[in-house]
């Protein structure tokens, strides 16, 4: 009865902590949540102040039984779950479950990193479960459940059963749809610039551009205007009127918070937000480092604070002085600007030990783990380093009385933090040699260049996370789920790194915007996030926050009830296509297998057909004799009968290439993961598990002749073919 039971969420975390605690402690994992709201009913008594009913999560009965068995052998129970709201809620549920079988003290310990020092400090300072955090998480969970259970059935009646609405995810979908509308409605505007190369009497060349015409920014909207100005400049004498030289400092970025880590990992490493957080979790919970055993490599990865501890600061400064040089250290402790919504409860994401360099541990890490650890390690150290100092030169050149041209040059004088972490796409320096005011110049080449204004770019995962953060939507722990859920529900798709709403996603948002405008408004959702923060930070009552959201939701639901009869027709999109049976204008509808056209006279008239643009196949449906066509579903292209929904025959759409696995009679088909990423797999799955992220071709490898070549591309090599077996490359 003298052991101390420590309960964490994950087995990996349990393994790392066990190494540091040693004898007298038993560390066990709950493997995530052990209780939650029931799956198949609301689980919230609205009449009793939103009282939740919690049930044991499916599959967790055995774990609870094992934990209770360990409780019986223990003198103390310590709940060491993560330090965010979700972790606090897990700790509370564990306490509620384990309290029923014991009078043993149950306390909470928190730590920002899994190191021996951090753990022993936590053990010396046990606390109670923070019920404010628990209430904040409980309010969020209840709000999300209310939306899911009360709004989703409205979508079922309009589209098909299985669709769902999310309180925050729907706002993310809104942003994608509104951006898509901006792009569609964008009208490009033509404009021209004048740029070229000037030359001194000593044959020194440097680039310059037209800066002003008659003291104002040039607005050259046509070729004729640009040509007129260009001719006038060429007719003038060019003279240097002013040369300005100065040193310009550039400060480093702060250490990573959750959102900036996700953005930088996307830009530098090509990681999705979800992949970034999975790998960060591994680095936080512990990685095997040979004889050293399992060690936590980074601090807690769900944070919106750029603050670092004094000890971490001192260690980072010491590393820079010893390994890089005293001149690279910034003398003074920087304070970085915080986001409005920042709770500043945790530290920034940083290495647990700066002296554990990426080179020292690379043999123990996977490629992706090493890449992300290196990013965190460099960013933290760079944030402690001196500014980069550039020598900047700015030259103004007068062309007569009307025109002013400008040349800019810069060169790196002191690298500062750039000695530790380079920019993702470093700019090359362009220095202008010695030149004096009053010097006359000649034109080496000067020309006009046509441009067009660009529409706003589609969101990437990284830029959508930034937008959500800027608008106060979601929190560090929710960004990944927002993006993942939008894609898994087939409301959005990702192509070449950019997100765009699907037809279904746009139609779902139009429906939500029409029927529930109040509850999915951006400012309202942001304010609700602030109210959730107040539950944790002040004495705000969680029931009041839920009611703050539930009242407008109830009002909207009442309006929807009044439209019950016409709800199905409300969002139907009429087309120019005519029903072959009754002559009515066909409407576009959706099913699990994608969009189709149907007669609005259903059930009297049951005519349906595929949407225009689907490619018909010269092959009869083996089930009903109808025509088959290619269709696009949520998991990729497939073949289906055009008599759907009366005939539900489908088959896989293949590339016409036999599966390369020996003995397999299947073919290769294009498929999609639940998150919308395209891959290629065998039609005989699960009997054959062949799969490839790269598109196979019908061309065999000329070297090993063992398998198909696959399509590849890179910025450096362009498009090429590669053998996945022997790695040989072929130019197509």
Residue-wise pLDDT for 62-72, tens only, equals 999 999 999 98
| Closest among 527, 556, 522, 523 to 540, alpha carbons compared | 527
- CA pair distance 618, 630, nearest whole angstrom: 11
Task: Tell me the CA distances in angstroms from 680 to 4, 162, 634, one per residue in order.
Answer: 50, 26, 15
| Closest among 159, 372, 414 to 270, alpha carbons compared | 372
Environment class of 491 (CB within 10 Å of its CB; exposed 0-12, middle 13-18, buried 19+): buried
| Contact present, 501 and 176 (Cβ < 8 Å) | yes
| Contact present, 354 and 381 (Cβ < 8 Å) | yes
Residue-wise pLDDT for 491-506, tens only, equals 998 877 899 998 899 9
- CA pair distance 287, 297, nearest whole angstrom: 7
3-state per-residue secondary structure call for 147-178 = HHHHHHHHHHHHCCCCCCCCCCHHHHHHHHHH
| Closest among 156, 140, 131 to 36, alpha carbons compared | 140
| pLDDT given for residue 217 in this prediction | 95
- CA pair distance 92, 130, nearest whole angstrom: 8
**Number of Cα atoms under 13 Å in the Cβ half of residue 408:** 8
Position 708 pLDDT exceeds 90:
no
User: Which stretches does DSSP call E strand in 89-142?
Assistant: 106-108
Under CATH, to which class is 157-186+459-562 assigned?
mainly alpha
User: Quick one: average pLDDT of 614-618?
Assistant: 64
pTM above 0.95? no
Residue-wise pLDDT for 90-148, tens only, equals 999 999 999 876 688 999 999 999 999 999 999 999 999 999 999 999 999 999 999 99
Question: Within 265-366, where are the H helices?
Answer: 273-285, 310-319, 358-361
| Contact present, 119 and 21 (Cβ < 8 Å) | yes
What is 3-129's CATH number?
3.40.50.140
Buried b (16+ CB within 10 A) or exposed e, 367-381: ebbbbbbbbbbbbbb
Lowest mean pLDDT among 386-395, 442-451, 576-585, 627-636: 627-636
Task: Tell me the CA distances in angstroms from 298 to 113, 115, 287, 341, 644, one per residue in order.
Answer: 7, 10, 10, 24, 53
Q: What are phi and psi of 263, to 5 degrees?
A: -70, -45
Output the six-digit token pair for 320.
């820079």
Position 651 pLDDT exceeds 80:
no
User: Quick one: average pLDDT of 153-159?
Assistant: 88
Most confident of 150-164, 442-456, 667-681: 442-456
- CA pair distance 674, 272, nearest whole angstrom: 14
Is 300 among the residues known to form the active site?
Answer: yes
Concatenating the DSSP letter of every residue in 540-581 gives: --HHHHHHHHHHHHHHHHHHHHHTTTTHHHHT-EEEEEE-TT
Looking at domain 258-383, does it have CATH number 3.40.50.720?
no
| Closest among 699, 696, 665, 697 to 683, alpha carbons compared | 665
Active-site hit among 20, 256, 284, 300: 300
CA 533 to chain centre: 22
Indicate the pLDDT class of residue 420, thresholds 50, 70 and 90.
Answer: very high
Backbone CA torsion sign across 529, 530, 531, 535? positive
What is the distance between the terminal CA atoms of the chain, rounded to a whole angstrom?
71
Indicate the pLDDT class of residue 725, thresholds 50, 70 and 90.
Answer: confident
Question: How many percent of the chain have pLDDT more than 70?
Answer: 93
Report the number of secondary-structure helices (H) and strands (E) in the chain. 18, 34
- CA pair distance 385, 659, nearest whole angstrom: 54
Residue-wise pLDDT for 243-298, tens only, equals 999 999 999 999 999 999 999 999 999 999 999 999 999 999 999 999 889 999 99
Task: Tell me the CA distances in angstroms from 536 to 90, 136, 266, 377, 391, one per residue in order.
Answer: 16, 6, 31, 31, 48
| Contact present, 56 and 35 (Cβ < 8 Å) | yes
- CA pair distance 703, 727, nearest whole angstrom: 10
| pLDDT given for residue 661 in this prediction | 81
- CA pair distance 144, 169, nearest whole angstrom: 10
Give yes or no for a cis peptide into 603 (omega within 30° of 0).
yes
Q: Please name the fold of domain 190-251+388-452.
A: Topoisomerase I; domain 3 (2.70.20)
């Amino acid at each position: 009865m003298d052991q101390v039971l420590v309960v964490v969420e994950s087995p990996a975390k349990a393994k790392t902590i066990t190494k540091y605690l040693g004898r007298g402690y038993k560390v066990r994992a709950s493997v995530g949540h052990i209780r939650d709201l029931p799956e198949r009913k609301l689980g919230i008594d609205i009449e009793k102040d939103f009282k939740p009913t919690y049930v044991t999560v499916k599959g967790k009965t055995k774990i609870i039984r094992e934990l209770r068995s360990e409780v019986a052998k223990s003198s103390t129970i310590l709940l060491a779950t993560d330090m965010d709201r979700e972790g606090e809620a897990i700790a509370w549920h564990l306490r509620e479950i384990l309290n029923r079988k014991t009078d043993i003290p149950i306390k909470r310990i928190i730590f920002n990193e899994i190191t021996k020092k951090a753990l022993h400090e936590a053990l010396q300072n046990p606390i109670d479960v923070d019920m404010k955090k628990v209430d904040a998480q409980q309010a969020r969970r209840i709000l999300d459940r209310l939306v899911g259970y009360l709004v989703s059935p409205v979508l079922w009646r309009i589209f098909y059963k299985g669709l769902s609405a999310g309180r925050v995810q729907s706002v993310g979908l809104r942003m994608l749809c509104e951006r898509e509308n901006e792009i569609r409605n964008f009208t490009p505007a033509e404009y021209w610039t004048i740029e070229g190369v000037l030359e001194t009497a000593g044959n020194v060349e440097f680039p310059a551009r037209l800066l002003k015409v008659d003291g104002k920014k040039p607005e050259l909207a046509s070729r004729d205007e640009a040509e007129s100005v260009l001719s006038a400049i060429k007719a003038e004498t060019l003279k240097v009127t002013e040369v300005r030289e100065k040193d310009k400092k550039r400060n480093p970025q702060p250490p990573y918070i959750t959102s900036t880590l996700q953005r930088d990992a996307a830009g530098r490493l090509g990681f999705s937000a979800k992949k970034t957080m999975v790998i960060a979790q591994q680095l936080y919970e512990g990685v095997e480092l040979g004889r050293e055993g399992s060690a936590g490599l980074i601090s807690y990865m769900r944070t919106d604070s750029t603050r670092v501890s004094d000890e971490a600061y001192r260690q980072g400064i010491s590393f820079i002085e010893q390994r890089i040089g005293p001149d690279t250290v910034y003398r003074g402790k920087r304070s970085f600007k915080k986001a409005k919504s920042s709770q500043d409860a945790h530290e920034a994401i940083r290495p647990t030990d700066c002296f554990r360099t990426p080179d020292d541990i690379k043999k123990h890490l996977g490629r992706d783990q090493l890449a992300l650890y290196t990013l965190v390690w460099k960013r933290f150290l760079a944030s402690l380093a001196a500014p980069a100092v550039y020598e900047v030169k700015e030259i103004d050149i007068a062309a007569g009385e009307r025109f002013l041209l400008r040349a800019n040059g810069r060169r790196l004088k002191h690298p500062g933090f750039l000695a530790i972490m380079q920019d993702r796409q470093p700019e090359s320096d362009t220095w202008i040699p010695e030149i004096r005011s009053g010097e006359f110049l000649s034109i080496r080449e000067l020309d006009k260049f046509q441009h067009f204004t660009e529409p706003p770019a589609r969101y990437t995962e990284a830029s959508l996370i930034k937008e959500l953060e800027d608008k106060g939507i979601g929190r560090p722990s929710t960004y990944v789920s927002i993006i993942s859920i939008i894609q898994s529900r087939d409301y959005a798709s990702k192509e070449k790194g950019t997100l765009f709403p699907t037809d279904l996603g746009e139609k779902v948002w139009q429906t939500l915007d029409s029927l529930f405008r109040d509850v999915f408004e951006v400012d309202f959702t942001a304010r609700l996030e602030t109210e959730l923060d107040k539950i944790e930070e002040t004495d705000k009552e969680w029931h009041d926050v839920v009611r703050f959201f539930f009242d407008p939701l109830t009002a909207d639901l009442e309006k929807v009830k009044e439209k019950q009869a016409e709800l199905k027709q409300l969002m139907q999109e009429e087309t120019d296509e005519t029903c072959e049976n009754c002559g009515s204008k066909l409407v576009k509808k959706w099913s699990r297998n994608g969009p189709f056209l149907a007669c609005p006279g259903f059930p009297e008239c049951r005519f349906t057909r595929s949407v225009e643009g689907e490619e018909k196949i010269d092959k009869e449906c083996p089930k009903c004799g109808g025509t088959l066509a290619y269709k696009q579903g949520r998991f990729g292209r497939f073949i289906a009968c055009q008599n759907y929904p009366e005939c539900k025959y489908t088959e896989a759409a293949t590339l016409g290439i036999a599966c390369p696995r020996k003995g397999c009679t299947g073919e290769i088909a294009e498929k999609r993961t639940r998150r919308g990423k395209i891959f290629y797999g065998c039609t005989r799955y699960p009997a054959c598990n062949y799969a490839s992220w790269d598109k196979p071709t019908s061309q065999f490898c000329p070297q090993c002749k063992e398998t198909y070549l696959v399509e590849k591309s890179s910025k450096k090599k362009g498009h090429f073919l590669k053998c996945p077996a022997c790695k040989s490359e072929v130019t197509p």
